[in-house]
């Protein structure tokens, strides 16, 4: 919306978003179109001064909670990615409904559901940008939002290190705190080193996002990919540092390990991030 929406759309929706009155969900993925998002099947067919939307969007964060949905849909099936347009769909629009909450490995506090669009009629002026520019807008959006996933990963990793650091100083084996063993110290040093590298990359990418730098696509993908891989490694090591206790729900690090996993998957898997980086090498 900020990147491509008309002034009217921005006035109508961003004010309530900024006030915290209305939240937006991002609807790109479908049951059969994940990494290959341009293979989506959701259609929007022009009917007078409206478009009629039909299809299923899958894995939508905050579906059912958000009042507004940015929905990518095919307006010209002959053009693949250049035949996709973006629309604002409202929760209250007739024909909008939601699937059952997904039962997930982690991020259980974040609702994920399908969004069903069954003959949803939206006024033509709810199109974001020009017809056929929706996919390009969706990709430009990801350049910015991937950095928020890097930040999420970084926070989870830092939390796991902080917890494990405190634990190994308290836990005694062989008559002394396990933190006194060099094998443990080397693990902590590696964890802290990787987190710091992830932090620098994430902050640098965030600056590029604010400035709109030309190498943002590479940097955003690199920050997301690196920070999420670090989060997975660090949280797994944190479980290791707590031994058997780390493997139980009595301690928070197993949850952090489960929460870290999603950061390698959503906003484009880390395989997809590597494709993006390879196509945009500095
Ligand atoms: C909890 C959660 C929340 C989500 N929230 C949203 C949301 O709000 N909005 C939204 O639109 N989507 C959302 N997603 C969807 C998410 O972005 C997709 O799951 C992700 O892009 C991967 O798509 P897929 O699951 O279909 O996997 P697939 O694309 O089927 O991939 C399967 C495997 O193949 C690999 N792969 C695919 N293509 C290639 C290739 N060319 N080269 C190498 N490897 C490849 C993938 O990396 C993966 O390992 C969410 C997903 C989850 C789980």
Residue 200 shares a structural domain with residue 235: yes
Residue 150 shares a structural domain with residue 275: yes
Q: Catalytic residue among 30, 114, 254, 267, which?
A: 267
As to burial, measured by CB atoms within 10 angstroms (0-12 exposed, 13-18 middle, 19+ buried), residue 248 is exposed
Domain boundary among 131, 153, 186: 131
- Ligand 1 center from residue 64 Cα (angstroms): 21
* 125 DSSP assignment: G
Rounded to 5 degrees, φ, ψ at 200 are: -60, -45
Whole-number pLDDT of residue 21: 87
* Residues at CB less than 6 angstroms from ligand 1: 25-29, 34-35, 59-61, 104, 107, 112, 262, 265-269, 271-272, 275
Residue 262 shares a structural domain with residue 145: yes
Residue 153 shares a structural domain with residue 255: yes
Nearest CA residue ID for atom 31, ligand 1: 35
Q: What is the pTM of this model?
A: 0.97
Whole-number pLDDT of residue 98: 98
| 102 noted as active-site residue | no
Q: Kindly report the CATH number assigned to the domain that includes residue 163.
A: 1.20.140.10
As to burial, measured by CB atoms within 10 angstroms (0-12 exposed, 13-18 middle, 19+ buried), residue 18 is exposed
Atom of ligand 1 nearest to the CA of 62: 8
pLDDT digits (tens, 9 = 90+) for 133-164: 999 999 999 999 999 999 999 999 999 999 99
Q: Kindly report the CATH number assigned to the domain that includes residue 82.
A: 2.40.110.10
Whole-number pLDDT of residue 157: 98
Residue 71 shares a structural domain with residue 181: no
- Ligand 1 center from residue 240 Cα (angstroms): 28
CA 66 from chain centre, in angstroms, equals 16
- Give exposure, 68-95, as e/b (b: 16+ Cβ within 10 Å): bbbbbbbbeeeeebebbbbbbbbbeeee
Residues 6+ apart with CB under 8 A from 230: 153, 154, 157, 194, 195, 197, 198
Residues 6+ apart with CB under 8 A from 57: 27, 28, 29, 30, 42, 63, 69, 71, 114, 115, 117
Unique residue bearing structure tokens 């059969």: 32
**Cα separation of 145 and 135, whole Å?**
15
Residue 140 shares a structural domain with residue 173: yes
Ranges in the chain, pLDDT < 50: none
- Ligand 1 center from residue 214 Cα (angstroms): 26
First to last CA, the chain: 28
List the domain range (segments joined by +) for residue 31: 7-131
* Backbone CA torsion sign across 91, 94, 100, 102: negative
- Ligand 1 center from residue 246 Cα (angstroms): 29
Q: Quote the number of domains for the chain.
A: 2
């Amino acid at each position: 919306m900020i990147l491509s929406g008309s002034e009217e759309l921005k006035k109508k929706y961003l004010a309530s978003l900024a006030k915290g009155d209305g939240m937006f969900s991002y609807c790109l993925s479908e049951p059969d179109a994940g990494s290959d998002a341009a293979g989506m099947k959701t259609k929007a067919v022009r009917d007078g001064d409206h478009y009629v939307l039909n299809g299923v969007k899958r894995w939508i964060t905050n579906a059912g909670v958000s009042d507004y949905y940015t929905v990518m849909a095919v307006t010209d099936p002959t053009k693949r990615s250049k035949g996709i347009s973006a629309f604002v769909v409202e929760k209250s629009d007739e024909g909008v409904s939601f699937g059952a909450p997904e039962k997930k490995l982690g991020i259980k506090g974040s609702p994920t559901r399908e969004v069903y669009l069954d003959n949803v009629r939206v006024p033509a002026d709810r199109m974001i940008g020009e017809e056929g520019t929706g996919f390009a807008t969706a990709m430009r959006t990801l350049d910015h939002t991937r950095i928020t996933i890097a930040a999420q990963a970084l926070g989870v990793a830092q939390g796991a290190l902080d917890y494990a650091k405190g634990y190994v100083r308290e836990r005694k084996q062989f008559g002394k705190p396990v933190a006194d063993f060099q094998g443990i110290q080397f693990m902590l040093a590696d964890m802290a080193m990787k987190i710091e590298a992830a932090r620098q990359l994430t902050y640098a990418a965030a600056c590029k996002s604010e400035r709109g730098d030309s190498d943002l696509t590479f940097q955003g993908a690199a920050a997301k990919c690196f920070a999420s891989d670090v989060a997975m490694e660090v949280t797994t090591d944190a479980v290791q540092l707590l031994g058997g206790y780390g493997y139980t729900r009595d301690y928070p690090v197993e949850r952090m390990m489960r929460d870290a996993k999603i950061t390698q998957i959503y906003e484009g898997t880390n395989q997809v991030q590597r494709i993006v980086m390879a196509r945009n090498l500095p």
